[in-house]
Structure 1
């Protein structure tokens, strides 16, 4: 046997040689697993909730903040004052701020895991870390969220149409549902810029309405406590503060974890401040008699002008929110469970309409249901579960 061959064999049979060989094999296995996981991640389709998306490869911090805030501002805020009236001023503010901190924490979780995986979407993270079960949990969460939101929007627009056109709420809801659902079926989707412009209009209207309520505010109207409505205000607050699904896109647009983290903090503080002022203004003006769609209360204070303004805001907010959420869910049904367009559309818009016409017509309470179930699962439970499972895996 040649001397060189004997030396080579002795190298391998020594303990150091075996350790070195095992280490190389382990590194190769890790690389192979990483490649396989990346391939799996590329094959997972992201589930959608919002139609606001990052259309540019590189965005500024100001644009990132606008996208995150724009995703949050919508019809959900209209139900906050009514839900707050169920618990009183101080408990409502405590719950809103508490939900904001909880949502900010889970937003950080989404950002961290997305950044570690090159901007992976929430559905990709769920399926990658939690397996197929995680992917389906995310889909079911978004389905419930969409179902509750669409049902609430049908109920809300029934009330708006009844007030504006003097028809019954049921007829108003039916007309709105038919027209909006036709738009959804044909996929006539507003651009991200249009959605953001609408968000700025909404913020301006919220500020204007708040100023209109200041002369009628009385501190005594809100100084009571009733904890029976805690679940309601919690659910609506969760619904109104959800922006987690666009965090990965914002991270990719900014290209910096630290910048995105800083923007994310302000993206929760700003809407929460707007919601708090809007909520407090209505509660101090109307107290326990705050309407389900808060702005409709303006008619009792300002007559015909109040009626127009009070219904214009929900008309804009609910219509754009209905079309956006229904389009996103229709897309999820087409892509995630691979349904054809007519079936995907029917599964999205028909069940909520059936439930409404059977008799569930409470706008704010349905929003609370969506927040306490689908939104809580998608934006709170699943991110925490992803963090916990990943931590366990790293420990082993």
Structure 2
């Protein structure tokens, strides 16, 4: 595919590749703690909320295309206070995400290197970081070119893992409900479904408004389906023994081939998101803060490395806070931005024109953040 024909595919791959990241590997553990069916219901609710946020921000970006990110848009429509909050949320959220990618990406890389390198555990971090840093440093053209094959391989890898695991799925592992653990799952899911950073890149690739909206919708729904399937396989095999990052638990049940495939899927998932989130953070520092290209990329890549070196490596807690607290703040800013832009316009969002939908979503985000902080 060339030119305009390839752009919608690249745009869809960009948002799917951003969303399907390290969060996917925390979902089975969190689902196993609450039970599969309550977990599936929570996945449906958080997917609907996230879809609304993606389409809302997408409408603003399409109406006012710019190289700015969320911080720049909030300055234009809401004022400096909102810009400061958006910049804090954006930078803290993306640094935290990059840290989580380094924690789990290093482990996956070490597993992939283990058959050939005796010191694979120590080599995992530098190898993963070098590959991820190259993608961020070289920019969106290289990243966009890699997204399509990487996303295809990612989905194929999850399917292959499911095929290997399906004889070992036990339906009794899917039964039961422990609703007291729901706040953990809520935070993990809200983080795992977030794709707002990719939306300006998606808009830059697709000019047709109808195609653009469909890409935002499918780019949110497809990851949710992948997550549901992945959780079904992992929880169905391991039940309450599901490991924190899902893959090591599968390895003990299915053997080294499954471990290698799982690590490969994990590596691809984390790497695609590291590319896009890292580049997005660099763009915030460059376009919104006015830093030079080199300094913005050095800061983007150096900060999570320092945090990693300080021993911050509990990725479930990292992504839970990022989703439930910072994700809620980002979502509320998006809703305020959308409603200020919409003003008196009669704009339907997912077929709904009333403002009460935005208020309901905002209330859910605030309540969810409080629920997570109190419950965890």
**Structure 1 length normalisation: TM-score?**
0.73
Name the CA distance, whole Å, in 2 between partners of 1:68 and 1:185: 16
Deviation of the 1:272 alpha carbon? 1.3
Relative distance call for 1:210 and 1:174 in structure 2 (3 A) is closer
In structure 2, the residue matched to 1:83 is: 30
| Aligned partners of 1:80 and 1:237 also within 8 Å | yes
Q: Is 1:237–2:189 an aligned residue pair?
A: yes
Name the CA distance, whole Å, in 2 between partners of 1:211 and 1:104: 29
Relative distance call for 1:323 and 1:58 in structure 2 (3 A) is closer
Q: Secondary structure at the residue paired with 2:53? A: helix
| Aligned partners of 1:78 and 1:294 also within 8 Å | yes
Deviation of the 1:290 alpha carbon? 1.2
Deviation of the 1:259 alpha carbon? 4.1
Q: Is 1:94–2:41 an aligned residue pair?
A: yes
| Superimposed CA distance per residue, residues 292-321 of structure 1 (whole angstroms, 9 cap, x where no aligned partner) | 222232321232222322322223332343
Name the CA distance, whole Å, in 1 between partners of 2:194 and 2:67: 18
Name the CA distance, whole Å, in 2 between partners of 1:269 and 1:296: 27
In structure 2, the residue matched to 1:134 is: 82
Q: Is 1:356–2:304 an aligned residue pair?
A: no
Name the CA distance, whole Å, in 2 between partners of 1:148 and 1:349: 12
Deviation of the 1:130 alpha carbon? 0.8
1:217 to 169, 187, 192: 169
| Superimposed CA distance per residue, residues 345-394 of structure 1 (whole angstroms, 9 cap, x where no aligned partner) | 4532344333333332222332222222333333x211111134446788
Task: Point out the structure with max Rg over C-alpha.
Answer: 1
Name the CA distance, whole Å, in 2 between partners of 1:183 and 1:192: 13
2:213 to 240, 249, 261: 261
In structure 2, the residue matched to 1:291 is: 243
Relative distance call for 1:110 and 1:325 in structure 2 (3 A) is closer
Relative distance call for 1:158 and 1:201 in structure 2 (3 A) is closer
Name the CA distance, whole Å, in 2 between partners of 1:330 and 1:64: 19
Name the CA distance, whole Å, in 1 between partners of 2:62 and 2:291: 31
Name the CA distance, whole Å, in 1 between partners of 2:225 and 2:199: 20
2:102 to 128, 147, 154: 154
Relative distance call for 1:136 and 1:309 in structure 2 (3 A) is same
Ranges in structure 1 where 5+ consecutive residues have no aligned partner: 1-54
| Superimposed CA distance per residue, residues 331-351 of structure 1 (whole angstroms, 9 cap, x where no aligned partner) | 322332233456534532344
* Greater mean alpha carbon deviation, residues 160-169 or residues 313-322: 160-169
Name the CA distance, whole Å, in 1 between partners of 2:314 and 2:327: 18
Name the CA distance, whole Å, in 2 between partners of 1:180 and 1:63: 20
In structure 2, the residue matched to 1:47 is: none
In structure 2, the residue matched to 1:386 is: 337
| Superimposed CA distance per residue, residues 190-213 of structure 1 (whole angstroms, 9 cap, x where no aligned partner) | 331211210110000011111222
Name the CA distance, whole Å, in 1 between partners of 2:185 and 2:66: 32
| Superimposed CA distance per residue, residues 78-100 of structure 1 (whole angstroms, 9 cap, x where no aligned partner) | 22212212222122111111011
Name the CA distance, whole Å, in 2 between partners of 1:143 and 1:240: 17
| Aligned partners of 2:135 and 2:143 also within 8 Å | no
Q: Is 1:333–2:285 an aligned residue pair?
A: yes
Q: Secondary structure at the residue paired with 1:86? A: helix
Ranges in structure 2 where 5+ consecutive residues have no aligned partner: 346-376
